[in-house]
Structure 1
Amino acid sequence: MNNKPSVAVISTGGTITSISGLGELDLFEYSATGTRLDANEMMAMFPQGNEVADIIPVPFEALLSTAISFPHWKRLAQTIENLVKQYPALSGIVILHGTSAMEETAYALSLTLTVDVPVVVTGSQRPASALSTDAGMNIYNAVRVAACPEARGLGVLVCLNDEIHAAREVTKTSNGRLQTFKAPDFGALGHADGDRVVFYRKPVRTTYPHTEFALDGMDAMPRVDISYSYAGSDGTAIRAFVAAGAKGIVGAAFAPGLLGPDDMAAMKEAAAQGVRVVLSSRAGSGRVFGPSHNRAAGFLQADNLNPQKARILLALALSKTNELSEIQRIFDMY
């Protein structure tokens, strides 16, 4: 009798699915010279996940993650919802994904899915064809985590390099090192060790399937842009975003959430025109503070979300409301 759990594997492309045309020592030209494998080909190349679960390969468009945005998130969410309907006994879902925008896809799904099965996103820093690639072990561990009952209710998880992270907390920190994904403020949720999967803590912020957002009824996300603060930034980017039709702007502000004088003036102009301004920080760690002059200008705080995740949450918030207090409630809750 087969007692193995069933896990669906969706392959969206990225380094983890890449086969270089230049051989096993190519670690940087593969995206231009190689090919990307689909889910069936990936599981044939790295079949070890079949030892712990019955794998259901799921076709999806093969992309570099730098090309992934709202339309793909919506299709992914629909694919996941359909899989759960098609396979009622499904234990979990793994998404193979490029690492560049992995944290954004993971967070977007963590805010919008309505299913109640573990979803684990994984990728690799070295292509599948590389000598000592991390692709195979990351897939194997992601399948193990997705099949783990303790993974349920933790939101979308990101699993690479034996570590399990919450989508809200994790970010890519290194261009090339295998230990690139870290949660700067709180660390990993657990580990996929050789003998078993172990969790040590649970996130408390609201996540799927209990969120107030859904992608099904959305044709597009409201436009939200990110303005990066730097010495001498003069507000030009902010005014350009407003002119382009931005409904919201996230400030990647100086730590701990401060704008330079010219950016401050441009952000005040934007807020006065009804653009919703949320201040994050370019520091990448810690809560953004809300001093009185920022609050008086109508600026909201992103809590400890980094700018790219604050952009996703602001866009989803703006799909429901334009009220400042409601948007701040959403940032405080998620």
Structure 2
Amino acid sequence: MAKKPKIAFLGTGGTISYTGRNSLDVWEYMDFGTRLSVSEILSRFPEVEDSADIIPIDVRQVSSSGIIPADWLALASKINEIASSNTELDGFVVTHGTATLEETAYFLNLTVKTDKPVVIIGAQRPSSGFATDAGSNLLSAVRVASSKEAHGYGVLVVLNEEVQAAREVTKTSTLRLETFQTPDIGMLGYADPDGKIALYRKPTRLHTSNTIFNIENIKELPVVDIVLSYAGANGTAIDAFIESGTEALIIASLAPGLPTPDQVLKITSAIKKNIKIIYSTRAGSGRVLRRESMVSEGIISADNLNPQKARVLAMLALTISKDPEKIQHIFDTH
């Protein structure tokens, strides 16, 4: 009999860890349901433990709406600790709520120091729900984390039997099972029922062991906030964030990279106060091109990162440098 792959299974909470009031409670479980530990989740889906030697590790038990940057640091540190102390592991699976899964996944993609697969999963329906996707997602994640094909791909997100890159994937629907999509570029491949992990392209931006980030001595991440542009936006939010102590602002600008005129006035004032400004877009896809006016004012382009992903990278970039051109280089390469 072939030796089973060895997988560390870390739980942080989310829909996949919930049981509802009954099998049809697939939308109010967060208000009335109960949470499961990692071991309890596994007990519901014995096929997963048949496929690998699972090491269950409870890290958090929270809704993804309650995840904060300190949790990112703790989770990345935990994975790094396990990776360095247990060299026999084949990979990692992390359960997470889907609301902020993409942000956690991207943070781990930038800070985890291992080439072994780290796979983040969630579920759109609780483990107790009728036609839940929890078991299928978990089995797919274990198969991806066990595979040689996924080595060196950075952190991966696996739901609905689709393999996505942490940097690029985003949640696109409140309830649909196919909610996680990669705009423009598309998924990396499939985790199909035959057990084959079929990958068709590889992420090219720096990730995991190749990034410039080291979180060993970081106790707290810099404060970075997001400002939304919309018709008539007057810049009040920019003043409020500056007053509250923000170090950088991600402008979720009007496509292709334009705040409103009133916001521009406030942005100019913020730059004079040494607040770093990064232009992303609310459009959900496409690059923000760095115009000459942005270069001259020290405004950074988020490239094709959406606002929430740009915030993650900005927080880490500020631990390296406060210089706009150096931060821009980080955005161009990560």
Pairwise TM-score range, normalised by the shorter structure: over 0.9
Q: Is the 8 A contact 2:14 2:62 kept in 1?
A: yes
1:186-197 equivalences under 5 Å are 186-195=185-194, 196-197=196-197
Q: Name the residue aligned to 1:152.
A: 151
Q: Name the residue aligned to 1:125.
A: 124
Q: Name the residue aligned to 2:311.
A: 311
Amino acid at match of 2:265: A
**Partner SS, residue 250 of structure 1:** strand
1:76-87 equivalences under 5 Å are 76-87=75-86
The reply on whether 1:220 has 2:220 as its aligned counterpart is yes
More off after superposition, 64-73 vs 133-142: 64-73
Amino acid at match of 1:185: D
Distance (Å, rounded) in 2 between the aligned partners of 1:131 and 1:190 = 27
**Partner SS, residue 242 of structure 2:** helix
1:213-248 residue CA offsets vs partner (Å, 9 max, x unmatched): 122211111110000000000010011111111110
Amino acid at match of 2:293: H
Amino acid at match of 1:230: Y
Gapped regions of structure 2 (runs ≥ 5): none
Q: Is the 8 A contact 2:140 2:191 kept in 1?
A: yes
Distance (Å, rounded) in 2 between the aligned partners of 1:80 and 1:314 = 22
Distance (Å, rounded) in 2 between the aligned partners of 1:260 and 1:136 = 46
The reply on whether 1:273 has 2:273 as its aligned counterpart is yes
Q: Name the residue aligned to 1:330.
A: 330
Q: Name the residue aligned to 1:137.
A: 136
Q: Name the residue aligned to 2:51.
A: 52
Q: Is the 8 A contact 1:17 1:38 kept in 2?
A: yes
Question: How many residue pairs end up in the alignment?
Answer: 333
Q: Is the 8 A contact 2:247 2:275 kept in 1?
A: yes
Could you say what the CA RMSD is over the residues aligned between the two structures, in angstroms? 1.0
1:149-298 equivalences under 5 Å are 149-195=148-194, 196-298=196-298
TM-score under structure 2 normalisation?
0.98
Amino acid at match of 1:317: A
Q: Name the residue aligned to 1:96.
A: 95
Amino acid at match of 1:257: G
Give how far 1:2 is off: 4.9
Distance (Å, rounded) in 1 between the aligned partners of 2:246 and 2:132 = 41
1:245-267 residue CA offsets vs partner (Å, 9 max, x unmatched): 11100000000111110001101
Distance (Å, rounded) in 1 between the aligned partners of 2:81 and 2:325 = 35
Q: Is the 8 A contact 2:48 2:138 kept in 1?
A: yes
Q: Is the 8 A contact 1:38 1:60 kept in 2?
A: no
**Partner SS, residue 41 of structure 1:** helix
Give how far 1:192 is off: 0.5
Distance (Å, rounded) in 1 between the aligned partners of 2:62 and 2:206 = 30
1:5-54 residue CA offsets vs partner (Å, 9 max, x unmatched): 1011111110011011x211011111111111111111111121223211
Distance (Å, rounded) in 2 between the aligned partners of 1:209 and 1:189 = 20
Q: Is the 8 A contact 1:277 1:299 kept in 2?
A: yes
Distance (Å, rounded) in 2 between the aligned partners of 1:268 and 1:235 = 11
Distance (Å, rounded) in 2 between the aligned partners of 1:47 and 1:79 = 26
Distance (Å, rounded) in 1 between the aligned partners of 2:209 and 2:35 = 31
Give how far 1:88 is off: 1.4
**Partner SS, residue 25 of structure 1:** coil
Q: Is the 8 A contact 1:126 1:133 kept in 2?
A: yes
Distance (Å, rounded) in 1 between the aligned partners of 2:319 and 2:86 = 31
Q: Is the 8 A contact 1:169 1:185 kept in 2?
A: no
Amino acid at match of 2:205: R
Gapped regions of structure 1 (runs ≥ 5): none
1:268-322 residue CA offsets vs partner (Å, 9 max, x unmatched): 1101111110000000100002222233322110000000010011111111111
Amino acid at match of 1:50: E
The reply on whether 1:113 has 2:108 as its aligned counterpart is no
Distance (Å, rounded) in 2 between the aligned partners of 1:291 and 1:210 = 29
**Partner SS, residue 9 of structure 1:** strand
Q: Is the 8 A contact 1:74 1:216 kept in 2?
A: no
Amino acid at match of 2:220: A
**Partner SS, residue 262 of structure 2:** helix
Distance (Å, rounded) in 2 between the aligned partners of 1:299 and 1:85 = 38
Q: Name the residue aligned to 2:22.
A: 23
**Partner SS, residue 213 of structure 1:** coil
Distance (Å, rounded) in 1 between the aligned partners of 2:84 and 2:293 = 50
**Partner SS, residue 23 of structure 2:** coil
1:149-175 residue CA offsets vs partner (Å, 9 max, x unmatched): 111111100000010000000000000
